[in-house]
Structure 1
């Protein structure tokens, strides 16, 4: 009897262990392949467990989507680790996603680098649902032609500063992409914060930011440089590849592990997660100082983006729960981050392309010179109607060299696209690169 009891206990323990292992295995498989199951009917290349199609991305770079579109058609599936992305590579389907069915796919998907950076999550780009709508409606007035036209004198002053720098270094090679980044950072810094970083001036750093972040004489140029360096470092570390931090890599492969590992690694000096956390904390501190100064300034006007948000918040045209100080800091910084890098890239692309076509350069200059005297500033109407050729050149350059190959959003409910029924919480990416090429 004792032997039978032992054997029975052993068998029960063995069965329990087997069922536990099977349950864990089923949970892991369900987690890894759950997102795939709802979109399994969408065509795609063969996937590799855990890494998905990342080897294809490493092989082809951003052109991977053009390669796959030729093979799999206008809508196909691409796996970033376990997460399937539904790639829409047709202009009409992109119009359907971005306009006709926008209310069902309005939220941006949050990639793993952004998940590792709370500062970037609170900007307009990754805010969601009702908060996004309220923020967007408030910000929209900044992009009216009349307001943009009022920035022309500011742009002109920074362009003149940059030109002086070019004239003083005739014998040196100038990296135009660096020059354009300094120029756009100055323009957008003034438009967003009301702060002149002075990067395009011969002196390299201006004193005006000192007044914005406290007005004390203790704040020196090194601290201003530190702010800019943190801005650049924060931008360049948002990498969605295998050269980023360990937590970002885990976020690509096994997203559920990203946040626990980030919380651990950010406390270990020397790790990439620690460096990113340290930089973001210092950058947030700088932004909070600027926002705090603006909040205390009762005569700030409404010329810059930050002042406009402050005025809307205090007049209660938007809820104070929408634009809390941390969200104000994030959305204002987002304008500097997104605007400076993308505008600088587009400017560099235009100069590169025009340099290879002298006849285009000649027509551009003729249109600018034909507008009027050099000191005549264009109005909003002028910007929209008096420079058709410049408009064409800019759009053509953006068609050749897109800032981003994809625009990624997340379905908020079940939606049909291109004959495929996509479930809730699926990432839909509009392929912007190459759509204009026949």
Structure 2
């Protein structure tokens, strides 16, 4: 080193400092001009390494204080050094989710895919042809004919819900709505996904319900979540090495992996005869090959059999997701109906007219409950299960005047769109009449996005709506839901991945005259 310095006309430090400054500019400063080159406005002043993380963090995930009008048609932000294009323009959204779907198939950058099986085989996380193969195999589970065969199981679970509510009629005490709907949701989900009876409404400490609750028990303030979101290229190899998944605790995965193993063994014994649940659909798709391998090559453009990891991963994924989303949406629906008694009466009147003297909530009756469906759709507008929709450009794509580079993340803020006064009159009010046939025809389809739109919309949407209708109809037929002295206005926790109130929703029930 001394010999080299003797030949340099200036000290080595003087040479290295400018070089480091140039490298710092190239790798940490120059990328921050990407949105300026695209002609897209930014938020605040992006800083090297951290980008606009502080400004965007203040918005939170579930923060209804912001609307699409605050963002403008497009807005550029930086999650660390990762540029993210926020899009609220309806025409651009349609291009992303429908017209140019081939350019925006994937839900996240590949660097954020944590390859830990079986979680990584869930249809929600798969990419490109892998996603198409599994989606095609799972779709038959949600056909009208399959849903119709699930009605007996749904009504059986609703019987227990009605019985549990009756205990609070006698005591006149308020109850935690999420606990009540969560037990119903657990039983329904276990029956429709696994064809199994859990009876969690009678046994709330059942290990299945305890672990299912923990499946979504994380928030974005976690240091490990921060590492994953800000520096995915660093987090990915570390997490995969230590077998850690940021979205699912390992013990939860191990528990449900064991449950799935038992269910698969049971199905081998009875052959799945007469079963119409999602698990049986996946088993049938798995047995098409007779090959137990989980790493076989995928043939592009040809339907592929599911692997065991596909079956287990999606069984776990659908079970935990369906349980949490159904109980959450049902809780918010009952809360709004308790606040708005005239709307509750109107929904109850329709239910009674449709069902008539028979009192049976069958598949055909549920399809006729249009006003109840409107109440559910308005609930999902105010409390969408996904605050935003994320896509990544596979190739360079043109969206009106904006050219999106290959590999850029694009976010559609569904919550902000649902609270946009330019799209919705009095957006913070609960008005089911927004979803009459006439009003829906007037509105742009891209203004209501709780299930997404296009080929990669929520695969379980039809089942979720059916479960909500059955549970709400059976409860409203018997009881009136009212607020109590301990009912507090709902304020969403902006750091949770699903809409969660800061304080539990507590209501009371009264017998109908």
TM over 0.5: yes
Query: Structure 2: which 5+ residue stretches go unaligned?
Result: 291-298, 426-513
TM-score (normalizing by structure 1)? 0.80
Say if 2:229 is the partner of 1:229.
no
Give the Cα–Cα distance (whole angstroms) in 2 for the partners of residues 226 and 63 of structure 1: 29
In the alignment, what sits opposite 2:360?
Answer: 376
- Structure 2 vs 1, CA of residues 345 and 65 (structure 1 numbering), >3 Å: closer, same or farther? closer
Range that drifts further, 365-374 or 64-73: 64-73
TM-score (normalizing by structure 2)? 0.69
In the alignment, what sits opposite 2:397?
Answer: 415
Aligned to 2:226, the other structure's residue is in SS state helix
Give the Cα–Cα distance (whole angstroms) in 1 for the partners of residues 311 and 158 of structure 2: 29
Query: Structure 1: which 5+ residue stretches go unaligned?
Result: 206-224
In the alignment, what sits opposite 1:101?
Answer: 100
Structure 1 residue 20, shift from structure 2 partner: 7.2
Q: CA RMSD in A?
A: 3.6
Give runs of aligned pairs for residues 73-92 of structure 1, distance below 5 A.
73-92=72-91
In the alignment, what sits opposite 1:176?
Answer: 177
In the alignment, what sits opposite 2:189?
Answer: 188
Give runs of aligned pairs for residues 351-390 of structure 1, distance below 5 A.
351-371=334-354, 372-380=356-364, 382-384=365-367, 386-390=368-372
In the alignment, what sits opposite 1:332?
Answer: 315
Q: 1:399 aligns with which of 381, 388, 405?
A: 381
Is residue 76–residue 86 contact of structure 2 (8 Å, CA) maintained in 1? yes
Give the Cα–Cα distance (whole angstroms) in 1 for the partners of residues 23 and 326 of structure 2: 49
In the alignment, what sits opposite 1:41?
Answer: 39
Say if 2:53 is the partner of 1:54.
yes
Give the Cα–Cα distance (whole angstroms) in 2 for the partners of residues 406 and 103 of structure 1: 20
Is residue 89–residue 431 contact of structure 1 (8 Å, CA) maintained in 2? yes
How many residue pairs get aligned? The number is 405
Range that drifts further, 47-56 or 99-108: 47-56
Query: What are the superposed Cα offsets for residues 290-322 of structure 1, whole Å, 9 maximum, x if unpaired?
Result: 334434542444411111111133245998965
In the alignment, what sits opposite 2:424?
Answer: 437
Is residue 291–residue 328 contact of structure 1 (8 Å, CA) maintained in 2? no
Structure 1 residue 191, shift from structure 2 partner: 0.8
Give the Cα–Cα distance (whole angstroms) in 2 for the partners of residues 173 and 128 of structure 1: 46
Give the Cα–Cα distance (whole angstroms) in 2 for the partners of residues 256 and 308 of structure 1: 36
- Structure 2 vs 1, CA of residues 258 and 40 (structure 1 numbering), >3 Å: closer, same or farther? farther
Give the Cα–Cα distance (whole angstroms) in 2 for the partners of residues 232 and 401 of structure 1: 19
Give the Cα–Cα distance (whole angstroms) in 2 for the partners of residues 112 and 356 of structure 1: 45
Query: What are the superposed Cα offsets for residues 90-111 of structure 1, whole Å, 9 maximum, x if unpaired?
Result: 3333223221111211211169
In the alignment, what sits opposite 1:312?
Answer: 285
Q: 1:255 aligns with which of 221, 232, 235?
A: 232
Give the Cα–Cα distance (whole angstroms) in 2 for the partners of residues 308 and 334 of structure 1: 15
Give the Cα–Cα distance (whole angstroms) in 2 for the partners of residues 131 and 121 of structure 1: 11
In the alignment, what sits opposite 2:406?
Answer: 424
Structure 1 residue 118, shift from structure 2 partner: 4.9
Give runs of aligned pairs for residues 83-232 of structure 1, distance below 5 A.
83-109=82-108, 115=114, 118-169=117-168, 170-171=170-171, 172-200=173-201, 202-204=202-204, 225-232=206-213
Say if 2:276 is the partner of 1:303.
yes
Give the Cα–Cα distance (whole angstroms) in 2 for the partners of residues 282 and 11 of structure 1: 65
Give the Cα–Cα distance (whole angstroms) in 2 for the partners of residues 68 and 360 of structure 1: 26
In the alignment, what sits opposite 1:218?
Answer: none
Structure 1 residue 275, shift from structure 2 partner: 9.5
Give the Cα–Cα distance (whole angstroms) in 2 for the partners of residues 197 and 87 of structure 1: 42
Query: What are the superposed Cα offsets for residues 270-303 of structure 1, whole Å, 9 maximum, x if unpaired?
Result: xx97993344344434334433443454244441
Structure 1 residue 121, shift from structure 2 partner: 2.7
- Structure 2 vs 1, CA of residues 356 and 283 (structure 1 numbering), >3 Å: closer, same or farther? same
Give the Cα–Cα distance (whole angstroms) in 1 for the partners of residues 285 and 240 of structure 2: 36
Give the Cα–Cα distance (whole angstroms) in 2 for the partners of residues 132 and 264 of structure 1: 24
In the alignment, what sits opposite 1:348?
Answer: 331
Give the Cα–Cα distance (whole angstroms) in 2 for the partners of residues 27 and 307 of structure 1: 54
After TM superposition, which residue ranges in structure 1, 4 or more long, deviate above 4 angstroms?
Answer: 3-6, 9-24, 34-40, 63-66, 110-114, 116-119, 263-267, 272-275, 316-322
Give the Cα–Cα distance (whole angstroms) in 1 for the partners of residues 163 and 79 of structure 2: 46
- Higher helix fraction: Structure 1 or Structure 2? 1
Query: What are the superposed Cα offsets for residues 130-186 of structure 1, whole Å, 9 maximum, x if unpaired?
Result: 121121122212222232222222111111112222223443431111211221121
Structure 1 residue 19, shift from structure 2 partner: 8.1
- Structure 2 vs 1, CA of residues 67 and 52 (structure 1 numbering), >3 Å: closer, same or farther? farther
Is residue 39–residue 422 contact of structure 1 (8 Å, CA) maintained in 2? no
Is residue 416–residue 422 contact of structure 1 (8 Å, CA) maintained in 2? yes
In the alignment, what sits opposite 2:439?
Answer: none
Structure 1 residue 399, shift from structure 2 partner: 1.5
Query: What are the superposed Cα offsets for residues 244-272 of structure 1, whole Å, 9 maximum, x if unpaired?
Result: 2x3321122222211244357669xxxx9
Give the Cα–Cα distance (whole angstroms) in 1 for the partners of residues 165 and 151 of structure 2: 21
Give runs of aligned pairs for residues 280-291 of structure 1, distance below 5 A.
280-291=253-264
Is residue 146–residue 379 contact of structure 1 (8 Å, CA) maintained in 2? no
Give the Cα–Cα distance (whole angstroms) in 2 for the partners of residues 68 and 15 of structure 1: 51
